[in-house]
Amino acid sequence: MGGKLTKVTLGNTGLKPAHSGEMELGANIDFLSRFSLDYSYSRKNTTDQIILVPLSAAAGYRYQWQNAASLLGKTHELSLRVILADRPELSWQFNVAADRTRQYITSLNPAPFLTGPSYAGSTDVTQIFRIAPGETFGVMYGTRIVRSINELYDDPSKSPACPGTWCPDSLIVNEDGYVVRKSGYHTANEKFLTYVNKAGEPIVKIGDVNPDFNASFTSNVRFKSFTAYVLVDWVQGGSIYNGTRQWPFFEYRDRLYDQVSRPEVNCGGNPDPHCPYSTGKKPIAYYQGLYNGINPIDYFVESGTYVKIKELNVSYTIGRGTLEKLGWGVNSLRIGVIGRNLFTFTKYSGYDPEVAGLSGDPYSFRFDGFSYPNFRTFTGFMEINF
Amino acid sequence: MRISKRIPEIVGLVALVFVGACDTLNIANPNDPDRRRALGDPNSIPSVAQGAFQTWYLTSQGGFGEDQYPALTMSVMARSHVAMWNNFHIRYYTGCTTAWAAGGYPAGTCGNLTEGPAYPRAAWANSLAAAERTQIEAMWYGYYAALSSANDALVAIRVKLKDQVPGAPMVETMATLTQGLALSGIALNYDQGYIVTDSTPVDANGLVHVTLKPRGTLRDTALALLDRAIAQAAADTFTVPGGPWFGGPAVDYDNFKVARIANTMAARLLAYFPRDAAENATVDWARVASYASKGISSGTKPFNLTFHQDACTSWCDFLKVWSNDMTTMRAHTRVAHMMDAASQPDPWDVNLNHNPASPDKRLGDGTYRGPAAYAASILRAYPDTTGNGGYDYVWTHTKEFGNKTRGAWHQSAVGQVRYDSLTTCGDNPQGESTGSGDAPMVLAAENDLIWAEALIRGPADLATAAALINNTRVGPDRLGHARGGLPAATAGDADLLKKLQYEQDVELMGSNNAPFYNQRRIDNLEPLTPHEMPVPAQELGVLKLCSGTCYTWGGSSPPNSSASAPGSSAALLMQSAPQIWTQMYQARQASMRASRLLRSLQ
């Protein structure tokens, strides 16, 4: 800092490589002359995993890289290649590749901790990913909104006894599917309740970034002088935290505040401050509760499923015979166009579900934090062979 | 792997793959000096000590930037400055109260509720998952990083390298001073902490074996270290060069000034330590007076403890950068009202607010003494055409700023321009325009006011106390600057203490955390406001004392750990922590012994 020494990360002369033992099982089947199927399964045990762990302030340093964890990774991979046509004027190949990976933390020397990422110019503010024994690598922890009255009583401090503060008769599930107090329902005081688990912890698991599986489809087609190539990516499942959407909630910048779909109410001349909310429109404070002090909350955990036409490449080749007639002295001429990131099919509400890890998170778990979406590009090309 | 067509249809193959790697990561990198070499080179020790001192400064004044810095938040918690933003989690931690008779607000401090719904003050969010936790981490890790580096320098000077270190007496004194300052920072802000000095045993990995101690013990240890720095400064003759230590060549201090700085900081620690009025009554004010009488405002050449800024290129006084930007923060209506009750209502009411006519020349008529164009375009204030413009404060005709729906109590029409930054950032006393001026961190006036309070609350010398108060109440101050121009206080004033507290609010705003400490020790923080910080959740996680939401102060918990408001969870923590830490230490030692044994067998 300012050219002076400031302690941050303590060196570790005892650091050693992580050791991995991997078992892989694989099979290949070729059949009917046109099909080829591959499958493999790997199980990888990693000990002495190197991770950045927090230190006590007494050490003078914040962090140290240590051989502090053991991981178990399981991966399934499947690929299928199909030759649909293989004639002089027409050839067509179709390939599918899919995989599923899970990594589990089997042991951890330091106490469980939360980490990363940094986004929107803030370092070390939002900590959402939990590193703990028994957890999957990539689980998200945060606040969860209560959606059924029964789960409210997981909180050891809340009793369903009637009469009582948390008697079920005093609660209702509102239009958003959130449990609120009946006394505040359809008033200026309406607020959703947040979950506390049986251990009394208000910060609970709200998602997992790991997809159920990834798959990619590629196809090559050639018909006479035309060729086409298409790549389609499919990511099924897994969660994305939409931090980009959460941040502007503080400034009331979200379509949710608009509430145009909610029934209008005419409060002209009605002095009751709760009147504007009597038909189900929510007060601003209700939705600003979702900002949650920029702390993780499950409202912004969304399905990361998407199908994306990643690339489409179409070209036409003008052969030597035609070109000789033109007298250009060219053997062949190929012209075409490549489109990338053409269409995305998803229910994800952000710009692009194809997000990666951000700085401040040494584990690079995917997180939507003001990263640029993948641009849709079109590229024309001409290939000349002399 | 691939099976040929000679094996028809369904065939499987099992493969077992072993992956190996070199069993070492010890690759020499001569361009990347490690800790052992850095601390083994006598010529690097002054830099280590400078890094420690500057880490203390940046931790105190927010030079590390980002959103971790708590002093701006604490300034608004003290209702010294005000802001409606949530940067630094200011808004989260600075709610209002709808009824607080003890604070003189029978209708509450929230003001006009059509400008945002009220919400109460919040506890420190001491949870690993809470973004707001960063406000209680910054000083904890910052001060301990400073302390650790100071310890490294002192171990090198006192044990390992001794006279080989260039300028050893000066470096040793400054490192000792840094130890005292860093521990003071923990004692002033946290309920407990570690005491780690150069005499604390360190293991082969640089880790120390310590336990959490109560804040009173931290204070006493910090005072002992400041006493030691005072003694060392008196025993040697040296000059601390401003460039490497205080950011600029014009800011250097000889050994006598270093001793006076240490005396002032010791007086501050004793005076600001109380968490409430009950503790304030137990302060050893005679000792405070003794320190302050030898502090930076004493003698023939008073001075401010000043650091040169570099426009935030590598460091700056973030407290002043933000608090003296009228588009970002303003003076709280509590203080504005004190300077001119007729024009500055408290709580906020836009309809009753108008241009001031304060008898205090630090506000004056609220016009701006600097360039008229700047007043018009940035401050939205009127330029001074009569000589009655405020020295330190300006009234803006854009009475409200920012998002009004965030709460009327976050509004104010008066801003502080004493340390105004005209272009980029950094302190610009009296209108310097480059963002690279000399920023006072502790004013000579602060020493005067602590000294005066000691002479009022302790062994009485009211005449001297009044004279010290008048240095700023009337002016000129110890450095010759025009100040309040108010009628002089006298020893016979029944409200002499109140006049002193007025000076604490008006004169010390924006210099450091003094307004927060001064408000908490007279029970004038809003209800539910935390008066001190808990050990951060991340630290408790390392100690395996807490894995989620940890104990805290404020909100529904007691405001602090004083005897009048004990915290049972904290008491339990105090008992458990040493045992846990010892277990961790012993486990690590066992692991190291096993590793050494294995290596010897190879």
Tokens read off for B294: 């030898």
Query: What pLDDT is attached to residue B563?
Result: 57
Residue with the bigger pLDDT between B422 and A4: it is: A4
Query: What pLDDT is attached to residue B13?
Result: 39
pTM: 0.81
Q: Picking from B49-63, B92-106, B368-382, B421-435, which range would have the lowest pLDDT averaged per residue? A: B421-435
Query: What pLDDT is attached to residue B253?
Result: 94
- Residues of chain A positioned with their CB less than 8 A from the CB of B130: 293, 295
Q: Do B539 and A56 touch (CB under 8 A)?
A: yes
| A interface test, pick of B29, B37, B66, B591 with most A CB neighbours within 10 Å | B66
Q: Please report the DSSP string for A238-269 in residue order.
A: -EEEBHHHHGGGGGT-SGGGT-TTSPP---TT
- Residues of chain B positioned with their CB less than 8 A from the CB of A13: 26, 34
pLDDT tens per residue across span B33-69: 566 777 788 888 999 999 999 999 999 987 665 567 8
The amino acid that residue B189 corresponds to is: N
Closest to B194 (Cβ–Cβ): which among A17, A58, A252?
Answer: A58
Q: Is A114 on the interface with B (CB under 8 A)?
A: yes
Q: B325 and B458 in contact (C-beta within 8 Å)?
A: no
Query: What pLDDT is attached to residue B17?
Result: 39
Q: Is A203 on the interface with B (CB under 8 A)?
A: yes
Query: What Rg value do the Cα atoms of chain B yield, rounded?
Result: 27
Q: How far apart are CA B312 and CA B510, in angstroms?
A: 17
Query: What pLDDT is attached to residue A314?
Result: 97
- Which residues are bridge partners to A281 per DSSP? none
Closest to B549 (Cβ–Cβ): which among A27, A202, A252?
Answer: A202
Q: How far apart are CA A4 and CA B58, in angstroms?
A: 12
Q: Chain A 62-81, CB below 8 Å of chain B: which residues?
A: 62
- Determine, yes or no, domain membership for B390: no
- List all residues 6 or more positions away from A348 whose beta carbon is below 8 Å from its beta carbon: A240, A242, A302, A303, A304, A305, A306
- Determine, yes or no, domain membership for B37: yes
Q: What is the mean pLDDT of residues B235-257?
A: 89
ipTM of the shown complex: 0.81
Q: How far apart are CA B383 and CA B172, in angstroms?
A: 50
Query: What pLDDT is attached to residue B435?
Result: 58
Q: Do A111 and B541 touch (CB under 8 A)?
A: yes
pLDDT of residue B291 exceeding 90: yes
Query: What pLDDT is attached to residue B260?
Result: 98
Let me know if B592 is exposed, middle or buried by CB neighbors in 10 A (0-12, 13-18, 19+): middle
Minimum CA–CA partner of B134 in chain A:
A125
Query: For chains A and B, what is the number of CB pairs under 8 angstroms?
Result: 190
pLDDT of residue B535 exceeding 90: yes
Range of the domain at B64: 1-215+268-282+510-540+547-602
Query: What pLDDT is attached to residue B579?
Result: 41
* Residue B390: closest CA among B412, B415, B410, B363: B363
Query: What pLDDT is attached to residue B479?
Result: 93
**B581 confidence band (pLDDT: 50, 70, 90):** very low
Tokens read off for A249: 């909630």
The amino acid that residue B323 corresponds to is: S
pLDDT of residue B422 exceeding 50: no
Q: Is A160 on the interface with B (CB under 8 A)?
A: no
Query: What pLDDT is attached to residue B304?
Result: 94
* Residue B392: closest CA among B352, B445, B350, B342: B445
Measured CA angle at B206 (ends B204, B208), to 5 deg: 105
How far is the CA of B209 from the CAs of A14, A58, B584, in angstroms?
19, 8, 10
Q: Is A25 on the interface with B (CB under 8 A)?
A: yes
Q: Is B138 helix (H, G, I), strand (E, B) or coil?
A: helix
Query: What pLDDT is attached to residue A238?
Result: 95
pLDDT of residue B449 exceeding 90: yes
- Determine, yes or no, domain membership for B132: yes
Query: What pLDDT is attached to residue B128?
Result: 80
Tokens read off for B94: 């600075």
Q: A353 and A209 in contact (C-beta within 8 Å)?
A: no
Q: B123 and B530 in contact (C-beta within 8 Å)?
A: yes
| A interface test, pick of B93, B310, B547, B598 with most A CB neighbours within 10 Å | B547
Q: Do B18 and A10 touch (CB under 8 A)?
A: no
Query: What pLDDT is attached to residue B27?
Result: 57
Query: What pLDDT is attached to residue B121?
Result: 96
CA distance A182 to chain B (A): 21
* Helices and strands in chain A: count of H runs, count of E runs: 3, 18
Q: Please report the DSSP string for A14-68 in residue order.
A: T----EEEEEEEEEEEEETTTEEEEEEEEEEEEEEEEEEEE--GGGS-SEEEEEE
- Determine, yes or no, domain membership for B195: yes
Looking at chain A, list the stretches that DSSP marks H as alpha helix, in order from N- to C-terminal side. 243-246, 284-288, 320-326
pLDDT of residue B26 exceeding 90: no
Q: Is A248 on the interface with B (CB under 8 A)?
A: no
Q: What is the mean pLDDT of residues B307-316?
A: 76
Query: What pLDDT is attached to residue B452?
Result: 98
Residue entry with tokens 């490294």: B152
- Residues of chain A positioned with their CB less than 8 A from the CB of B538: 54, 113
Q: Do A26 and B15 touch (CB under 8 A)?
A: yes
| Winning range, highest mean pLDDT, from A347-361, B406-420, B457-471 | B457-471
- Determine, yes or no, domain membership for B388: no
Minimum CA–CA partner of A117 in chain B:
B131
Domains identified in chain B, total number: 1
Q: Do B141 and A57 touch (CB under 8 A)?
A: yes
CA distance B270 to chain A (A): 24
* Residue B543: closest CA among B151, B179, B192, B35: B192
- Residues of chain A positioned with their CB less than 8 A from the CB of B152: 60
CA distance A321 to chain B (A): 40
- Residues of chain B positioned with their CB less than 8 A from the CB of A122: 66-67
Let me know if B450 is exposed, middle or buried by CB neighbors in 10 A (0-12, 13-18, 19+): buried
| A interface test, pick of B2, B84, B137, B141 with most A CB neighbours within 10 Å | B141
Q: Is A120 on the interface with B (CB under 8 A)?
A: no
Q: Do A29 and B10 touch (CB under 8 A)?
A: yes
pLDDT of residue B424 exceeding 50: no
Q: Is A126 on the interface with B (CB under 8 A)?
A: yes
Query: What pLDDT is attached to residue B309?
Result: 79
**Pairing between β-strand A63-86 and β-strand A9-10 as defined by DSSP bridges:** parallel
Minimum CA–CA partner of A127 in chain B:
B129
| B interface test, pick of A36, A56, A81, A247 with most B CB neighbours within 10 Å | A56
Q: Is A253 on the interface with B (CB under 8 A)?
A: no
Give chain A's residues under pLDDT 70: 1-4, 119-125, 358-362
Tokens read off for A101: 């990976």
- Determine, yes or no, domain membership for B291: no
CA distance B340 to chain A (A): 33
Q: What is the mean pLDDT of residues B402-420?
A: 91
Query: What pLDDT is attached to residue A307?
Result: 97
Q: Picking from A176-180, B450-454, B488-492, B564-568, which range would have the lowest pLDDT averaged per residue? A: B564-568
CA distance A231 to chain B (A): 24
pLDDT tens per residue across span B472-529: 999 999 999 999 999 999 999 999 999 999 999 999 999 999 999 999 999 999 999 9
Query: What pLDDT is attached to residue B179?
Result: 98
- Residues of chain A positioned with their CB less than 8 A from the CB of B541: 54, 111-113
Other residues' Cβ atoms within 10 Å of the Cβ of residue A117: 26
Q: Do B128 and A295 touch (CB under 8 A)?
A: no
Q: A195 and A156 in contact (C-beta within 8 Å)?
A: no
Tokens read off for B187: 């004692």
Minimum CA–CA partner of B118 in chain A:
A285
pLDDT of residue B88 exceeding 90: no
- Determine, yes or no, domain membership for B447: no
Q: Is A55 on the interface with B (CB under 8 A)?
A: yes
CA distance B113 to chain A (A): 13
pLDDT tens per residue across span B279-288: 999 999 999 9
Report percent pLDDT > 70 for chain B. 83
Closest to B58 (Cβ–Cβ): which among A1, A113, A127?
Answer: A1
- Determine, yes or no, domain membership for B557: yes
pLDDT of residue B586 exceeding 80: no
- Which residues are bridge partners to B393 per DSSP? B416
CA distance A27 to chain B (A): 5
- Residues of chain B positioned with their CB less than 8 A from the CB of A55: 542
